[in-house]
A and B are shown apart, each in its own frame.
Chain A
């Protein structure tokens, strides 16, 4: 079993839709969870970062961690064509910077 699993999609939604992106992870000891966004032919960039359980909101983006089910989610409200990218979830394996990434979900937001 992979440490982090993510449905690669692709996912296509109309502009203005609410997008839900999800990952599962294997080890309940993981505490730090991240979402990176990667535009085509670019390096990933950190979008959001959460510690332990709960929600974190930043503008149209909400990151959620459910430690009981080992599930992490990213919600995008009022999605825009500029949100079209690949979204990668990641966990910090050793709380020292060693990141394990999910496969990435390719999102396309159609005008």
Chain B
């Protein structure tokens, strides 16, 4: 069945290193969301795209985070340089782009920055 895929599933890195997370949305979905989940802050929207164009990235720290959609089947979230406070689970979700809609979440990337 169709599902959102994310790679890597787990990542351990050292402070200062670049981290790239990838997401493949469900085929035919034109909206992609990036979320971060921590115990303290819960699930927070970082950025989202519709038809590959960024709609809102107000939740994303601009100095170190960047999100892109090189094509309709791939979304990336990069952190450079990474910091220990970036340790979290990062989720990608996709949807059909019909206003309020069901968002289908991937399994997440668990990031630990030492």
Contact = CB atoms under 8 A, between A and B. Distances in A.
Interface string A35-57: 00000011111100101000000
B40 to A, nearest CB: 9
Nearest to A6: B42
A95 interface: yes
Interface residues of A, number: 21
A32 B91 CA distance: 22
Contacts of B91: 43-44
Interface string A79-111: 000000000100010011111111110000000
Given A43-B93, A88-B43, A92-B100, A98 B48 contact: yes
B43 A98 contact: no
A104 B107 contact: no
A42 B99 contact: no
Contacts of A51: 100
Contact of B105 (A44, A96, A100): A44
Interface residues of B, number: 25
Interface string A2-35: 0000000000000000000000000000001000
B111 to A, nearest CB: 14
Nearest to B50: A97
A92 B99 CA distance: 9
B23 to A, nearest CB: 11
A40 to B, nearest CB: 12
Interface of B: 4, 31, 33, 42-45, 48, 50, 55-56, 91, 93, 95, 97, 99-108
Given A42-B107, A43-B106, A44-B43, 10 more contacts: A46-B103, A88-B43, A95-B100, A96-B99, A97-B103, A98-B48, A98-B56, A99-B103, A100-B45, A104-B43
